[in-house]
């Protein structure tokens, strides 16, 4: 499920659009249908995987480029 989109910039000044998605987990229960937020996933708009490194700092997995949320 789509959560948000934000811009990020690398040290060279290149701008990237990062898409954040979060799946919903369905938890077994006898009395009700329970759901919980799943793990957030980060990808560039072109589909390349991005991983969080620290608060507002990410790394593009395929190139090891560090990008910073702006």
Q: How does pLDDT run across 43-54, given as a tens digit for each residue?
A: 999 999 999 999
Which of the residue ranges 5-9, 35-39, 45-49 would you say has the lowest mean pLDDT?
Answer: 35-39
pLDDT score recorded for residue 28: 80
Mean pLDDT of 33-49: 91
Q: What pLDDT, on a 0 to 100 scale, did the predictor assign at position 59?
A: 98
The predicted structure's pLDDT at residue 35? 82
Beta pairing class for 49-54 and 2-10: unpaired
Count helices and strands (H / E) in the chain.
0, 6
Contact status, residue 42 vs residue 61, Cβ threshold 8 Å: no
| Per-residue confidence band for 33, with pLDDT thresholds at 50, 70 and 90 | confident
């Amino acid at each position: 499920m789509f959560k948000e989109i934000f811009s990020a910039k690398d040290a060279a000044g290149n701008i990237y659009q990062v898409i954040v998605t979060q799946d919903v987990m369905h938890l077994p229960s006898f009395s009700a249908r329970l759901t919980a937020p799943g793990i957030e996933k980060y990808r560039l708009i072109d589909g390349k995987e991005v991983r969080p490194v620290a608060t507002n700092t990410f790394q593009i997995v395929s190139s090891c480029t560090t990008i910073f949320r702006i």
